[in-house]
Structure 1
Amino acid sequence: MSSSSSLPLPPSASAAPVAAPNRVVVVKNLGLAAYEETWAYQEELLAATLAIKVRNRPAAEEGRAPEPTPNYLLLCQHPHVYTLGKSGKPEHLLLDEEGLARHGATFHRINRGGDITYHGPGQLVGYPILDLDNFFTDIHRYLRLLEEAVIHTLADYGLAAGRIAGLTGVWLDFEEGAANPRKICALGVKCSRWVTMHGFAFNINADLSYFGHIVPCGITDKAVTSLQQELGRAVPLAEVEQYLLGHLAALFEADFITA
């Protein structure tokens, strides 16, 4: 006679079906894209993912498998624009409306964390729309892994980069007591029910003079730099993207697939 452990469980005792974490990240390169349009696209993808999570809430009670949630990474450049996060100070923008127009720039208050920053041509901007339930539910780890991917990418170009205690982003001459700490990548994110939006801005061939019109990230005593300035030559953004995507895939243990 078969042991009781081999008998099927009654329906009421059956384990509820569980969706396997989706570790695929769809990469969409938007090219040079207006900030407002990209922000709206992020919100659209975020809302669609949150809607799936809402539908999944009663899945166990209804005896059905939850739907897998998607993950995206939007890559782009922006026309000249300044954005101010929720905790930022408007006075950190040093241009009035006339000055913005004169420099061909726009200004937006947005719903990410952090202070003011600049986006423009020659800067690689990344907006991960990830459901961290697919990876890990730790926003600090998420930020540190984004930074780590940039740090590894800079190492591919022979540059030693790291973090400065109490500040987000990636820095050169980051060691305590270094004479000239320089920020090369800024981060600012939002997370709703473990789904992320906003992201990072990595200065590759950016016109750094535009940072002179703000107090970048509210920091008054440190400089901003770019990969071009550090290497003394322009660097193809597509090349940087490939290095960066490889490091993100390894750190997040994910498959990054270009749409």
Structure 2
Amino acid sequence: MLFFEDLGKKEYEETWKYQKKLFDEIIQKKVNNISSQKAGYFLFVEHPHVYTIGKNGKRDKHLLVSSDFLEKIDATCYQTDRGGDITYHGPGQLIGYPILNMDYFFTDIHKYLRLLEEVIIHFLWKNYGIKGERKKGKTGVWFHNHVKNGKSRKICAIGIRMSRWVTMHGFALNVNTDLRYFDYIIPCGIYDQEVTSLKKELKKNDISFQEVKLMVKKSFQEIFDVEFIPMSKKLDQ
């Protein structure tokens, strides 16, 4: 069973604590050899303006503005326990947080990252006929066609934490995101890239966020071969 919950719009710190609670719950049952039918959880959320920095991130080098400026643009910043460098989350961006017990899937972190990428690649191609691609040596999903000035365009960032084969954190897909907020950082610490959104690539005024959620859910189910159960039906097992 994989429980699904759409958290709607929620502050980053509150969501991080909630993720950690679910993450720790799975780990404790594993440590205590308590059997469970749960494969884990999958959360959707949309955050207010926030910058998050992974364990390998360099705030002094990759965050380009001061704390005072962050306050002016109504943004916060957190050092987190995920992998990767700095990224931005905000309105119009779909965040997916899979909190999975990988014993129910496979115990291979690189395969897991590639499948998270595949979820987004599958979603883009199946629903919009646009080709998302990987970038050698990097994690995430890009567009490489019609590259300007040698810069590929990143549409989805991925950063995870994994301990005892339990995952947390996940992916950030730019749908109707205000891309100006990426101007204040070196996204993921990569200098030779641009950031894009589904709205920008499709040249539309707005993309239905609810429709994107449904389509990404379907792609996740297909790529990971799982069925979702609403969190309202969660069993204590």
Task: Please say if 1:166 is aligned against 2:137.
Answer: yes
Q: In structure 1, what residue type is equivalent to 2:217? A: L
Deviations 1:123-166 (A, max 9, x none): 00011000000111111111111100100111111211110101
Paired residue for 2:202, among 190, 212, 231? 231
2:234 match: none
- Normalising by the residue count of structure 2, what TM-score does the alignment of the two structures yield? 0.92
Deviations 1:191-249 (A, max 9, x none): 01000000000000000000000000001111000000011111111111111111111
Q: In structure 1, what residue type is equivalent to 2:40? A: N
1:187 match: 158
- How far off is 1:253 after superposition? 1.2
SS of 1:173 mapped into structure 2: strand
- Kindly indicate which of the two structures has a greater share of residues assigned to strand: 2
SS of 1:186 mapped into structure 2: strand
Q: In structure 2, what residue type is equivalent to 1:148? A: E
Task: Please say if 1:87 is aligned against 2:21.
Answer: no
Q: Report % sequence identity.
A: 50
Q: Give RMSD over aligned pairs.
A: 1.7
Q: What stretches of structure 2 of length at least 5 have no aligned partner?
A: 232-237
- How far off is 1:257 after superposition? 2.6
Aligned length: 228
1:250 match: 222
Q: What stretches of structure 1 of length at least 5 have no aligned partner?
A: 1-23, 60-65
SS of 2:30 mapped into structure 1: helix
Deviations 1:77-116 (A, max 9, x none): 0000000000011120011111000000000000000000
Whole-angstrom distance in 2 between the partners of 1:30 and 1:192: 24
Would you say the 8 A contact 1:154–1:161 is kept in 2? yes
- Normalising by the residue count of structure 1, what TM-score does the alignment of the two structures yield? 0.84
Would you say the 8 A contact 1:81–1:107 is kept in 2? yes
Whole-angstrom distance in 2 between the partners of 1:210 and 1:158: 27
Would you say the 8 A contact 1:53–1:69 is kept in 2? no
Whole-angstrom distance in 2 between the partners of 1:129 and 1:175: 36
